[in-house]
Amino acid sequence: MAWACGLGLLLPLLLSVVSASTPGAVVRLNNEVLSYVSEIGKAHLQRALQVTVPHFLDQSGDVLQPTRIQILNVHVTRLHLKFIAGFGIRLLAAANFTFKVFRIPEPLELTLPEVLLADARVALGSIETPVVSTSACFSLVGRASVTDGSNSTSPALLVLVEKHIKAVLSNKLCLSISNLVQGLNVHLGTLIGLNPVGPESQIRYSMIDMPTITSDYISLDVNAVLFLLGKPIVLPKDTSPFVLPPHVGTQDAMATVGLSQHLFDSAFLLLQKAGSLNLDITGQLNSDDNLLNTSVLGQLIPEVARQFPEPMPLVLKVRLGATPVATLHTNNATLQLQPFVEVLVAASNSAFDSLFSLDVVVNLSLQLSVSKAKLQGTTSVLGDVQLTVASSNVGSIDTDQVYALMGTVFEKPLLDHLNALLGMGIALPSVVNLLYVNPEVFVYEGYVVISSGLFYPTSTETAPLEKLRVEQLAAQGTLLPQISRETEAKPH
């Protein structure tokens, strides 16, 4: 009972710790995104504006004559989007509607120009995703012009048909816009989807604040929560919220994504806690390129030769007890690992004899790159690997010689392991299907910036075309990770 009460008191505390220390990222979408959305949005808007028109009741004759009216075509001639500071986005669209009025004896074809003006507020939704809602919408329908069948239409009837159509459009078009926006919200909701980081670990982004909107961009503060076996990973560190300075990265990129130092720390903490960084390096006998046997080691440590006159394979157990430390300096990302290495002899099938253990410090340069919507890394060793003997069952050890051997057997497998792991990448903030295109990575003091174009494969009907375009881009290498010349950093 008492423990349940205690837990009840503790739980809100724990939860507030989680929210206070989740690592931050900032996603800034610039004006270029609106140009892109206007471009790919025309087809969507065109489809959304294909509303159904109820029958027109022709009262000119003796009997009431219901006349079918159909939209033959909607042609969006202009779509313009712009940011409204502190509010959201304004949409201005112009379209030509072509209608067919199924009159007897002869059908009538009409064209009406139409202008749509809508303001949409962008806010923080209840599920911590951006939510767009139309706050004002005006649909202005112009004069109809008859394109076919005018001979047999009386001007009076034309006026009535036009009035009917205008009433329908002014009712329905704004509704279509708001339906389109609802669809967009469903899509934006996928921001909070879980993405795998490793076998048992995941990352989830969510929006934490109202967006900041200026006439040039919309900026979203996004938090990452990293999960290990379904539980959030919490860094025991108090950090102030991450703020992305203006004018970082490439000026005319669609998106500027800032990743805080805290996010890197948390990602490495996750990898360490998950044990993903640990590895065993095993020796084999009768192999010419594998130095891990007791005869090789026995030449450096006489006690090994004495204890193991018969050659035996060695095993290095590499364990990361301490979290790797990523350091972000301008144009320079480094990673420090402090593995504990235990050198064992595979004495029998199941038992291992520990010979000695080493505390290792290795500095790595970290190159970051982005592929699709993932941040990847590759590492290479910077300077010397530092070794100190932590314990020994084989007497005193001449570190210089052992160092030379260990350097040879240890470095490459460690780098291969690490690079395979970091090469899998960690998901960046994104929504379903959205790709980062031509990404460039910049390393700054304490944070990383990704400047990138965005690419969104649109509807199924245009999918083959878009796929082709993606393939073309890939062939040109523009979808592949790019190394920024300035930073030598790859997006990861």
Measured distance CA(345)–CA(356) in Å, rounded: 10
What x-and-dash track marks residues 136-175 binding ligand NAG by CB under 6 A? ---------x-----x------------------------
In whole angstroms, the minimum distance from the beta carbon of 361 to ligand NAG comes to: 4
Part of the chain binding ligand NAG (CB under 6 A), chosen from 17-25, 251-259, 298-306, 328-336: 328-336
Per rule CB under 6 A, count of chain residues that contact ligand NAG: 28
Structure tokens at 378: 């590759």
291 contributes a contact to ligand NAG by CB under 6 A: yes
Nearer to ligand NAG, 195 or 363 (CB): 363
Site for ligand NAG in 215-244 (CB under 6 A): none
DSSP 216-272: SEEEEEEEEEEEETTEE---S---PPP-PPSS-S-TT-SEEEEEEHHHHHHHHHHHH
**Composition of the chain by helix, strand, coil, percent to 5:** 30, 40, 30
311 contributes a contact to ligand NAG by CB under 6 A: yes
Measured distance CA(89)–CA(76) in Å, rounded: 19
Contacts of 329 (CB under 8 A, 6+ apart): 443, 445
In whole angstroms, the minimum distance from the beta carbon of 327 to ligand NAG comes to: 7
Nearer to ligand NAG, 171 or 408 (CB): 408
Nearer to ligand NAG, 200 or 353 (CB): 353
Part of the chain binding ligand NAG (CB under 6 A), chosen from 39-47, 57-65, 162-170, 282-290: 282-290
In whole angstroms, the minimum distance from the beta carbon of 98 to ligand NAG comes to: 8
Site for ligand NAG in 181-200 (CB under 6 A): none
In whole angstroms, the minimum distance from the beta carbon of 241 to ligand NAG comes to: 27
Part of the chain binding ligand NAG (CB under 6 A), chosen from 60-68, 173-181, 269-277, 280-288: 280-288
Nearer to ligand NAG, 67 or 295 (CB): 295
382 contributes a contact to ligand NAG by CB under 6 A: yes
Measured distance CA(40)–CA(455) in Å, rounded: 10
By C-alpha distance, which of 445, 437, 449, 435 is closest to 368?
A: 449
111 contributes a contact to ligand NAG by CB under 6 A: yes
Q: How far is CA 468 from CA 134, 453, 474, in A?
A: 34, 18, 10
188: number of Cβ within 10 Å? 18
Asked whether the CA dihedral 221, 226, 232, 238 is positive or negative, the reply is negative
* Vertex 197 angle, CA 244 and 434, to 5°: 60
354 contributes a contact to ligand NAG by CB under 6 A: no
Structure tokens at 322: 């301490």
**Binding ligand NAG by CB under 6 A: which of 46, 295, 419, 478?**
295
Structural contact between residues 484 and 442, judged by C-beta atoms closer than 8 angstroms = yes
In the DSSP assignment, the letter for residue 375 is: E
Site for ligand NAG in 81-110 (CB under 6 A): 96, 106
Structural contact between residues 134 and 178, judged by C-beta atoms closer than 8 angstroms = yes
**Binding ligand NAG by CB under 6 A: which of 332, 338, 354, 392?**
332
Nearer to ligand NAG, 182 or 331 (CB): 331
| Interhelix angle 155-188/31-48, nearest 10 degrees | 130
In whole angstroms, the minimum distance from the beta carbon of 218 to ligand NAG comes to: 30
384 contributes a contact to ligand NAG by CB under 6 A: yes
Part of the chain binding ligand NAG (CB under 6 A), chosen from 20-28, 286-294, 436-444, 453-461: 286-294
Which positions touch ligand NAG (CB under 6 A)?
75, 77, 96, 106, 111, 113, 145, 151, 285-288, 290-291, 293, 295-296, 311, 331-332, 334, 336, 361, 363, 382-384, 386
